[in-house]
Amino acid sequence: MLHPVPTLKETPSQTAGPYVHIGMTPNFCGITGVVDADLGKTMINGEVEGERINVAVNVFDGAGVPLFDGVVEIWQADASGNFTGPTAPNSNSAPAFTGWGRQPLTEAGAATFETVKPGRVPGPDGKLMAPHIALWIVARGINIGLQTRLYFEDEAEANASDFVLNKIMDKRRRETLIARKDGSTYTLDIHLQGEKETVFFDM
């Protein structure tokens, strides 16, 4: 077994389709009474360390049309740079900070997450990566979920030495991952195509 290879193939992806909100944010699209709240709507369930922020994303297609029928999920470390560990299978309490959020995109192609600014996490080279949030976008017309990242405008020094940002050869395209700051809100415009196409990853 010197070179083990996978014995099974990953199940192939298919588009989430035009009605992904039914399955992932049912209350948002009017299917009420089945579950109390849409999963991932709230990331903070109690006292948490760190700076409270809003993360706003606006998603556009290649024609500049807002992606009105998609879903965005985020995953991030807490303010200390730790990820929320697995909950016990029969746990009855949600962690104070889940690290995971899910929001439907609105008619304007927008979603906002109330969260905390993440701490720094070590990268594969052992050095700390800049604070960042992992994003995953699905929608009609997207055949396999798109992976990208959000970085913070006010972390220029950390961004300059970030393992992932530095893998983007065209430096101008690094800017597509950096959210602009306005008070406690960080906003990132995501373009699926076009001159401002966001950098997407295969990670």
Partner 1 sequence: MSGIILPGADGLLFQRDRDWHPPADTPGYKSSTFRAPKHSLLSLGPTKSEMTGPTFGHEKLGALDNDLIRNFSQDGTDAIGQRMIVYGQVLDENARPVPNTLVEYWQANAGGRYRHKKEGYLAALDPNFGGFGRSITDANGFYHFRTIKPGAYPWPNTGNDWRPAHIHFSVFGHAFAQRLITQMYFEGDPMIWQCPIVSTIPDKSAIDQLIARLDRLNTTPMDALCYRFDIVLRGRRSTMFENKLEGN
- Near partner 1 in 74-133, by CB under 8 A: 75-77, 83-84, 86-93, 98-100, 121-124, 129, 132
Tokens 């020094």, located at residue? 157
Q: How far is residue 168 from each of residues 42, 88, 164, 199, 203, measured CA to CA in Å?
A: 32, 38, 7, 8, 14
Site for partner 1 in 25-64 (CB under 8 A): 26, 29-31, 33-35, 39-40, 61-63
Total of chain residues touching partner 1, rule CB under 8 A: 88
User: Can you tell me which of 72, 73, 79, 159 binds partner 1, judged by CB under 8 A?
Assistant: 73
Could you tell me the smallest distance in angstroms from the CB atom of residue 38 to partner 1?
11
- Residues numbered 150 to 169 that lie near partner 1 (CB under 8 A) are 163-164, 167-168
Q: Counting every residue, how long is the chain?
A: 203
Q: Indicate whether 192 belongs to the interface with partner 1 (CB under 8 A).
A: yes
**Site for partner 1 contains 13 (CB under 8 A):** yes
**Separation CA 56–CA 151 (nearest Å):** 12
- CA separation (Å) from 201 to 135, 144, 157, 167, 182? 10, 12, 23, 11, 27
Contact between 172 and partner 1 by CB under 8 A: the answer reads: no
Paired sense of beta strands 100-104 and 71-75, if any: antiparallel
CB atoms closer than 10 angstroms to residue 84: 17
Q: Which of 146, 178, 179, 188 binds partner 1 (CB under 8 A)?
A: 146
Q: How far is the CB of 46 from partner 1 (least distance, A)?
A: 16
**Locate tokens 């989430």: which residue?**
16
- Binds partner 1 (CB under 8 A): choice among 103, 115, 159, 198: 198
Q: Which of 49, 51, 182, 197 binds partner 1 (CB under 8 A)?
A: 197
